Chains A and B, each alone.
Chain A
């Protein structure tokens, strides 16, 4: 077992080497060949994503780096989707970055390092490696938010993000140290072993405390109530491309972190952390949805919508175990995984539209900036319409399939009232999503400037919109894919 198994970590190794090579190439040429490098980066990310996805399902769970690193189907699937999400961000965001003076080598380097951080998080089988991944991701994001040096709001957002993110990291680290104290190990499988012993004997206080801090740290990273305060401010202040970097792919890594820490490591303590997650989910659904209604800023509204959506995802995650019965675990976690993946898909499209609509000296900020989009660019408006109905969970969009899976997981464990609560807040959510549709379709444009978008951006946005509807009509393959991945992870 104690082998290096370097070949398992090929995606990470390749990405790290590529990022370094990119940095050298860009600095040697002083940014002259950046447009070409940009294309190479995009192609590399797509290639990496396809490479990871093509390997699923793998034969089984394998470990590397003396058990610090885990490779299984779930890891590969999430890495693959993350890489594709990053490629999407770069394609759609290229024009935006140029207009906003962000199209520099640094941006690409930071983007590549966020991806590396996510991949490390996804494959970590060791508390320290989790932390390493989190920090690599977060530090790159802080810098990406602050890239426009003379933009006061972005700098403020970056500061806020940094301070609160550091606090969250502190929580996480503190929790990890307690878990280490209680179990004597940083390795997830050893922790799981020690936890089983702890449950059969007297539960140690320090163990429970450790879980509390871990969950708090995770909640910060996910941005769920009551650890959500940073989300709206950072979303609003950041340039849209940085917002997308924060709100898109990292949600997949956050889901992986939940799986690795809570399920791989602390599955026997499910009763304890499920109750904590339930409080977070219930509060997120209520506060996220109700506060989103009052927003006039588009990005703030989307931030609160994210909070609510993450709360909904947690509902799936917390219905894995009832009493001693773990029969629903695979269904529950795969519903959360499906939810996360499809959420990222819709978020990419939403911010993609926002970026395409922005131009030099003009940033889409208020909901009213979308006025009359159907007149100005019917194609964009239609995509946004599909995305909004998907977020609201209206069939046949994919958001409905995702919500259906979560509700099914909830009802399978007999939590009928939680399901009713969740659908009632979906109704509240529907209000602000269809308000966006109203703004685009029912109101006359106040700004007639032509919307310019590249053919590549047009194509990927089209693919995104199509994916939202096709995955909604035929969700079975992706569901089966998530199910296989989760079953393998649970078995390993």
Chain B
């Protein structure tokens, strides 16, 4: 295969390099050019990730597109990149979502355009780095570095309470990851290397495993976020600009869930089994309690934020039942949630750009003035509720099937998400879109323009395609998930 071209390095460093260039050369006077350049950069960065899928060998769980260069030899840390079935889709998803973010900001962001675009491009490269790092230290560097652009994005272009939200986001996530750093250094001192694959084989005692698992849990649980450390997310989502919310929900949350697959479960398998009940309980609380909380939200963005937490609870639930179907379903759910939550936030962005309110009560009867928009919004709301034939259904259904096999009652509790999901998504949809035209603002609404139509249309196609034909996703996952579960089933004691 085309192993000579370092596609992963390109996928990481191209958007970062473009971002730096745009920041250096762009200003508000040449904003038009900045937008064009950013779109071009995002498209190129996406195109270089495509060979990762087309050249992917689905018959092996080995890392592919491997790159390895010495980095800090004194520590045994290397610049190691590679993807397997667990990560390859997230690399592509990250690059894809960045295009939507750039398009969504087109006419909306008018101040410091260059910095805005640069922040998102750099962030995109860093997140690709997280998904493709095969070295623990490199992973951590990328994982932490994502905080910087996100902090700026929320703080500079956010809503009225943005400073509070930016601080909360930054400090909360930093709190979690600092303990992870200690765990990483500890693993390095035990194994003499930062290579994640070597850590998978490292024998560890039960106490060590539990402490390491908890240290990783701190970082990943905050990032996912799991109940009860989820409170930063609604604030960050509400205050962030549309693009920030999209990236947060679609990709950043996945960094945490991905961490469980790459670190917690294979490095501390015995601790994972030991603490599985605890993790399942937290996940079920997220699914049910947060689902109820979402129901009563008055702010649309907050509602989708809580729905994200509930959906991510589903993901962690799927992981810790150690069932083939459930883990695959959870990963599918992660990808699907990337599209659906991204689309939901873009829809809310479309409304917000026109009315400048996120309150559900500020709307009503939108369908009368924005019929095309209402159709798209309906599709995404349905997908958010997990309706069959949309992408949301596939993952949820697989996780529930796995859960029923694992324990009927857990399966039953998990299945309530279909009810709550439908309730909060569709009730919000009803209040916003249906009914009489509620006020003058809604009366003066104009339907989506070409840019918005293309943006939402593309996402709609993706959501439908993934729901109707999930084979490309499950094929890629199959072997890697099997290998992971076999590894986790072996005790290290």
A→B interface (CB under 8 Å)? 374, 378, 382, 385, 389, 394-396, 400, 404, 407-408, 411-412, 416, 419-420, 423-424, 426-427, 430-431, 434-435, 437-438, 441-442, 474-476, 479-480, 483
Contacts and interface: CB of A to CB of B under 8 A. Distances in A.
B174 A408 contact: no
A479 B179 contact: no
Contacts of A400: 141, 144
Contacts of A435: 167
A476 B167 contact: no
A411 B175 contact: no
Contacts of B182: 407, 411, 416, 419-420, 423
Nearest to A428: B171
Given A395-B140, A411-B189, A476-B73, A431 B162 contact: no
B163 A442 contact: yes
B148 A479 contact: no
6 contacts: A394-B145, A394-B148, A427-B171, A435-B167, A442-B156, A474-B71
Contacts of A395: 140-141, 144-145
A424 B145 CA distance: 18
Q: Provide the main secondary structure of the chain B interface.
A: helix
B151 A434 contact: yes
Contacts of B145: 394-396
B175 A441 contact: no
B166 A427 contact: no
Contacts of B70: 476
A423 B178 contact: yes
A394 B144 contact: yes
A216 to B, nearest CB: 31
A389 B179 contact: no
B148 A389 contact: yes
A100 to B, nearest CB: 32
A396 B152 CA distance: 16
Nearest to B155: A442
A430 B75 contact: no
B185 A431 contact: no
A396 B74 contact: no
B155 A427 contact: no
B166 A442 contact: yes
Interface string B186-214: 10110000000000000000000000000
The 3 tightest CB contacts between A and B, nearest first, are A395-B141, A423-B178, A442-B155
B19 to A, nearest CB: 12
Contact of A404 (B162, B174, B185): B185
Nearest to B144: A395
B147 interface: yes
Interface string B434-473: 0000000000000000000000000000000000000000
Contacts of B189: 408, 411-412
A427 B144 CA distance: 13
B72 A479 contact: yes
A420 B75 contact: no
B155 A475 contact: no
B170 interface: yes
Contact of B178 (A424, A434, A474): A424
Contact of B185 (A385, A407, A427, A441): A407
B109 interface: no
Contacts of B163: 438, 442
B72 A434 contact: no
Given A442-B162, A442-B163, A483-B74, A408 B155 contact: no
Chain B, interface size: which category? 35 or more
Nearest to B186: A411
Contacts of B66: none
Contacts of B186: 411, 416
Nearest to B162: A442
Contacts of B151: 434, 437
B181 interface: yes
A456 to B, nearest CB: 20
A75 to B, nearest CB: 22
Contact of B179 (A408, A420, A434): A420
Contacts of A442: 155-156, 162-163, 166
A483 B115 CA distance: 39
A326 B189 CA distance: 17
Contact of B170 (A412, A419, A430): A430
B152 A394 contact: no
Contacts of A411: 182, 185-186, 189
Contacts of B147: 394
> Which among A385, A400, A427, A435 has the highest number of chain B CB atoms within 10 Å?
A427
Contacts of A420: 179, 182
Interface in B62-96: 70-75
Interface in B265-282: none
B171 A479 contact: no
B206 to A, nearest CB: 17
A134 B112 CA distance: 49
A441 B144 contact: no
A237 to B, nearest CB: 31
Given A407-B182, A407-B185, A476-B72, A438 B167 contact: yes
B170 A427 contact: no
A426 B144 contact: no
Given A394-B145, A427-B174, A442-B162, 5 more contacts: A396-B141, A396-B145, A437-B151, A438-B163, A441-B156
Given A404-B185, A420-B179, A423-B182, A434 B144 contact: no
Contacts of A431: 167, 171
Given A396-B141, A396-B145, A408-B185, A434 B170 contact: yes
A438 B73 contact: no
Nearest to A423: B178
A412 B75 CA distance: 12
A420 to B, nearest CB: 6
Contacts of B73: 476
Contacts of A408: 75, 185, 188-189
Given A408-B185, A411-B186, A434-B151, A476 B156 contact: no
Given A400-B144, A412-B189, A441 B155 contact: yes
Interface string B40-73: 0000000000000000000000000000001111
A396 B74 CA distance: 18
A232 B175 CA distance: 28
A387 to B, nearest CB: 13
A400 to B, nearest CB: 7
Contacts of A475: 72
Given A395-B144, A426-B178, A479 B74 contact: yes
- Interface-central residue, B73, B112, B155, B174, by most chain A CB under 10 Å: B174
A462 B412 CA distance: 60
Contacts of A434: 151, 167, 170-171
Contacts of B23: 382
A480 B144 contact: no
A44 B186 CA distance: 46
A479 B74 CA distance: 8
Nearest to B157: A442
Contact of B166 (A378, A424, A430, A438): A438
A258 B155 CA distance: 42
Contact of B175 (A382, A412, A427, A474): A427
A411 B179 CA distance: 13
Given A395-B144, A430-B171, A407 B181 contact: yes
Interface in B106-156: 112, 115, 137, 140-141, 144-145, 147-148, 151-152, 155-156
B96 to A, nearest CB: 25
Nearest to A403: B181
A438 B152 CA distance: 8
Contacts of B115: 374, 378
B165 to A, nearest CB: 11
B215 to A, nearest CB: 9
A487 B444 CA distance: 75
Nearest to B70: A476
Interface in B398-430: none
